[in-house]
Structure 1
Amino acid sequence: MARVLVAEVESVEAIALTDSFRRRGFDASRVVTGTEAVREAARVDLVVLGVEPVDLSSREVCALIRRRCAVPIIGVVVRHTSLDRRAALEAGMDAYLPAGYCIGELLARAEVSLRRFPPVAGDAGSIVCGPLVLTPESREVFLHGRSLTLTRKEFDLLRLLADDPSRVVSRREIMAEVWADDYGLANRTIDTHVSSLRQKLGYQRAILNIRGVGFRIGWWDDDSSNPAEPVGDQFSTVDLQTR
């Protein structure tokens, strides 16, 4: 069952949307703020973004979601000029509708988006990070629905990072959690496994090295014109190469 997140301030509109999705067989939930939408986006298969969240602009929400995952986003734009449509797409929306849209059209667009980016079935304990799904119980990993073969340590490292894609995990914590070692092994051990994971995931920026701090999940977008950046202002340098 595909999971849909509706980010909508207006309660009447939100109830109508979530009820419509549920009648179509979707697992639909609702949030009110942009911050909530960003936090929950990696756990769902589709985000429907209302006109304007109460705390962030639609562009800000899209940009922050894109820093974490590649979940499809359908947004609502107040004005429907060519400039507004272009801005919506540049912000990271996969599709958009004008205010006053027909719910039937939104549902149709949602189904098209989910056909393009089909969700991967997993058990209740699965960790979902955009197109990446980890199942800890069976130690299986899927990327865009394709099974990946990882070593035990690679899986443990990826799981640690995917648990919270926005968090930077220090080298010391990685050594303690993955190798049960309090920084006793050489740093190169981590670098070697990160390099191997990047190759298997097919994206050099799938895992970012925040220089002097640690690692976190990066962009799933392979557009080199938009280099990945850490969320927030506390990290001024992002090293995208294995160190």
Structure 2
Amino acid sequence: MRLLLVEDDDHVAAALSAVLGRHGFDVTHARSGEEALQALLPGDRSPFGVVLLDLGLPDQDGFEVCGRIRKRTTTPVIMVTARADTRSKIHGLNLGADDYVVKPYDTGELLARIHAVARRIPHQESAPGRSRAPEGDANVLSLGALTIELPNRRVCVDGSAVALTRKEFDLLALLAQRPGVVFRREQIISEVWRTSWEGTGRTLEVHIASLRAKLRMPALIETVRGVGYKIVVPVR
């Protein structure tokens, strides 16, 4: 996912960009409100999945920038700021921000909030290597030889159906809807198993191994050491 980071402090932006990059995000850094607005295309053609917006910008207040962004595009906006008072939070959300995160924040929480707001908005980007089938059907994912039909929970490889368990399908569908994006182990466990990470890690590893074996595409799901897993779109 491409992400626009609006932050005037280069040191903060560099550190956060590095973390986001390790988790599969393609980060563009804007140092001012005007620079951010120039990077955003009007309407539904925004090249970014999410905007992280600091409020203390050099050229204009972040609240003003948020209002101008919301008039320009539906791209989700997360305000990331040191302003912790309730009035600022309410004002930001009323202006159209999708979420409000107070500095200092936990990186894992910020990542979870980014994924959460991205899920609530229809995906605007065309992920490299992924196509919709047939005829742009949003309920069918196509990744090389792999086809995933979401409504009837059917998976095919080269046209042949592959029998998956309920959790195997849920796991594959989660990863496949964001090819190239790294999903943290904790996030996968939370979304697929609806529980916390503790004691469930081995279960996730077993399901990943089973998917690789059943799909006969061992390189499809890549392990990102120390972080989690991502889908790698096969080159045919």
Tell me the TM-score normalised to structure 1 length.
Answer: 0.48
